[in-house]
Structure 1
Amino acid sequence: MQNIELNGKTILITGGAGFIGSNLILELLKKIESINIVSVDNLNDYYDVSIKEWRLSEIEKEVKKHSNSNYHFIKGDIADKGIIDEIFKKYSPDIVVNLAAQAGVRYSIINPDAYIQSNMIGFYNLLEACRHSYDNGAKGVEHFVYASSSSVYGSNKKVPYSVDDKVDNPVSLYAATKKSNELMAHSYSKLYNIPSTGLRFFTVYGPAGRPDMAYFGFTNKLRNNETIEIFNYGNCKRDFTYIDDIVYGVKCVMEKAPERKVGEDELPIPPYSIYNIGNNNPENLLDFVTILQEELLNEEILPKDYDFESHKKLVPMQPGDVPVTYADVSTLERDFDFKPQTSLREGLRRFAKWYKEFYL
């Protein structure tokens, strides 16, 4: 692996107003003495834009504390090739972290176009920009890091999921686009010697997360006196991974790129890696709901006499969903000493505190 010093570098982070992107920017500002961050996000209304605006305001507060660092936010869509080309021309990023994507398994069933635009065309635009960053002998992009997803494992029966497993049977268009990203990145790594690392994220949660995720959606529904639906009659397990653990892992990966090597045929061996990034500890959905309820009561988001049983409904599995997600993170642990630190209870407690401040 090739070590990369982040100090003094220019980092392009797409999806910079998103859940993972905004937290990564905050972490880099706090931990790296001098850094130039270029952030792009289209601020679409897939979910409540006020949460994205809150995240951006948190970044602005942090920026003011760091006179040695620069931060530029660009409202734009990565599917717009002109915007991406202009960013590369103006800022010449050393590292690109692509976290912009149309997320969500179920939404891909009703609005596939959004996934093709962002996850396919947008991804291609970034790969092309990375490729041309080496034109005329320029040093170009040192590392292209991108978000894949545990969804690529589809209905894989073998658990925990390993990066060595075959992932040729996606059960949603979202998963298919993420698998396509991995294939596209591999081909560009091979053809143009672009060091690239894909990260298969497992159920990321925490304060100011995505409202379409179960813990957030359940909280909203319980507050509104609505019934929450627990899929597969509660026989689901999820490898919930707290946002701080995810961000720590992404930062570690940014600092070590796959090494450029030449094979016996004198052609580049693709400098390409894929890792699972998860908690390596799947939680039963019913246990998760119980912990969430307790933390919502502790924060007085719900009244002490709230009747949870009357607000719960066990329902069949939804199209595109899978019963279990479970990350084998042994390669990430081996290469980056990655060990998640946050328990589900602690993570949900922090979410509940944020939720109370933001909404109540």
Structure 2
Amino acid sequence: MPDEWFVRVDGKEYGPVDIKTLREWRAEGRLIPGNELRKTDETDWRDAAQFVEIFAEPRIPDAATNELFRRRTVFEIVRDSFGIYARGFLSFFCLALIAAVPSLVVKLALAFFNTPARENVNVQAMLPAACAMISFIALLLTWPVFLAGVQFATSDIVGGRAVSFRDVLQRAVNIWRRMATLSAVVYGSYIFWTVPLLVILSITRAEPSAILLLLTLLALAVQVYMVGRLFINFLFWQQSAAISGLDGVTALQESKELARSRREAPMFERPIFRGALLASLWLLVFLTLSVAIELPFLLIRIQGITSIEEATALVQKLVNAPAPDATTIATYVLNSLVHALLRPLLGISFVLLYFDAKARR
């Protein structure tokens, strides 16, 4: 009789199931190395990763065997990020579109929305607001899938495995709850430390004074400090959750420990500074391309304007327009397309940085 196993996840037991079912669960992302297994004729639970008959990787060339946890320089991380992106471009771009489309719809819907007078409230007037709300909810639902998908696709390519968008998407959906919970914690922490500054800025704007200005500068300094600490602590939360299969506090703890590792090493060999450098380079490219997209449309708009009064009138016209014109819509669409193309690159580079940090640990 073939061996059968019980699976324990969060204290709940499932089974008994055979090895074929376990391998299917593993492929679907339902069984991860951190889950516990035991054979039906045993009493001790062990991590699923210890069962090589279930978690044995497909045979790949020797050159790729040690590719996963390998040390890389910053240049190699950037170079390999582009190479990985090129190899799995279709999968990465489709993953990016999952989040980019709802984001674009939110922008367009809000651009078409104008707060109606109370007596003019009707279904047609509120349709853009409803569309924006639905799209925003869709964005919240799809964002964790996009994040997890980039991690899985990158690790597959680095490990020498073929990437299938359908397979990556299925695995990402299977860990949606874990990624969504951690997303709420991570992004919520950033928002929490931004709100006080916004409140103080609004007060200062209403009643400017030397004391309030000093308070604003102090709040800004505290926010910069806290955002820096959050960036360090959350540096690898996506990789810990998706690739290592860690949940909640465990994922955040590994992220913090990896980010703060190698303190005795030279500056640009530490994960903290490498992460900051990679994020800065990506942001620089992002802003440069955004300006490059906006500039031609801006030049078209200001063609023929010869005075400040004419420029002011143009701005007022755009602000008070009941709906965006074709130029504005084209700008939104192109910006969203460029953002969708760039987003996976940052995720890929951080996966490689994660592997590098694990290799150097």
Give the TM-score taking structure 1 as reference length.
Answer: 0.25
Bigger radius of gyration: 2
Larger strand proportion of the pair: 1
* More helix as a share of residues: 2
TM-score (norm 2): 0.25
